[in-house]
């Protein structure tokens, strides 16, 4: 990505120099930088509020209760994860944050979930737990399922998109909520069907 963005910047500067539009390129860089900072401040405020609410909910035990409520869903999606395994809690926290549209808040839980799933795979390779064993460096079924569902990301409140729309002067920033729910619900259902079909194919 560094090479990609660096190359695009160099091409833009070279093109502006060759066509005599270097002044316009400079003005665009300054304007875009100012807009980027303003957008970051706006999004940071909204994200900080929701992340704070998530932390309050976690300290109040609400996240733990929601995790327990989600246990049947987790059992359906990840039948290979043992009961009370730390990966289940991290996956549930990640899914709750994604449902609330808090992609940034979901990232730490997602990384912890992947670490726990990696430890689970090491336990399988050591013969401590049953299940299909993958060679080191190859993602497990649970890792692939979690990644696909995380990407599909069912969202009830797309906080980040609402913040973007508000920043850019949308008359109705929350108008995206309905279409967002439909779109992410469809993508999540398709992701689950795909994961189950692939899992059945591996077991066949």
Q: If you average pLDDT over residues 168-190, what whole number do you get?
A: 85
Burial class (CB in 10 A: 0-12, 13-18, 19+), 65: exposed
**In this model, does residue 204 exceed pLDDT 60?**
no
pLDDT(200) > 60? yes
pTM recorded for the entire structure? 0.68
Task: Dump pLDDT digits (tens) for 114-171.
Answer: 888 888 888 777 776 666 666 777 778 888 888 888 888 788 877 777 777 877 778 8
Number of domains, the chain? 1
Tell me what pLDDT residue 133 has: 66
Q: What's the confidence (pLDDT) of residue 173?
A: 82
pLDDT of residue 88: 85
Element (H, E) at 45: helix 22-59
Give residue 78's Cα distance to chain centre: 18
* Distance linking the first and last C-alpha atoms of the chain: 39
What pLDDT score does 132 carry? Answer: 66
Whose CA is closest to 87, among 61, 59, 109?
109
Alpha carbon distance 156, 179 (integer Å): 10
Q: Is residue 25 part of a domain?
A: no
- Is the CB of residue 195 less than 8 Å from the CB of residue 148? yes
In a domain, 143, yes or no: yes
Domain residues for the domain of 182 are 39-203
Give 107-116 pLDDT, tens digit per residue.
788 888 888 8
What percent of the chain has a predicted confidence (pLDDT) above 90? 2
∠ CA 100-106-108, rounded to 5°: 160
Q: Answer for the pair 141, 202: CB distance below 8 angstroms, yes or no.
A: yes
Residues 150, 171: Cα–Cα separation, whole Å: 30
| Per-residue pLDDT tens over the stretch 44-88 | 776 677 677 777 877 888 777 887 888 888 888 888 888 778 888
């Amino acid at each position: 990505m560094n090479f990609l963005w660096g190359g695009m910047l160099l091409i833009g500067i070279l093109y502006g120099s060759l066509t005599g539009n270097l002044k316009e390129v400079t003005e665009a860089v300054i304007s875009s930088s100012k807009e980027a900072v303003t957008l970051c401040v706006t999004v940071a405020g909204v994200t900080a509020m929701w992340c704070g609410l998530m932390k309050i909910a976690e300290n109040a035990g609400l996240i733990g209760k929601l995790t327990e409520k989600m246990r049947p869903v987790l059992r359906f999606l990840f039948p290979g994860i043992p009961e009370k395994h730390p990966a289940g809690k991290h996956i549930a926290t990640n899914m709750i944050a994604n449902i609330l549209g808090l992609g940034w808040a979901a990232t730490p839980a997602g990384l912890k979930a992947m670490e726990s799933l990696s430890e689970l795979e090491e336990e399988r390779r050591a013969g401590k737990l049953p299940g299909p064993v993958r060679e080191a460096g190859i993602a497990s079924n649970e890792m692939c399922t979690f990644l696909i569902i995380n990407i599909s990301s069912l969202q009830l409140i797309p906080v980040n998109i609402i913040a973007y729309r508000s920043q850019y002067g949308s008359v109705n920033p929350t108008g995206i909520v309905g279409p967002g729910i439909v779109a992410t619900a469809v993508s999540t259902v398709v992701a689950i069907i795909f994961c189950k079909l692939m899992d059945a194919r591996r077991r066949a």
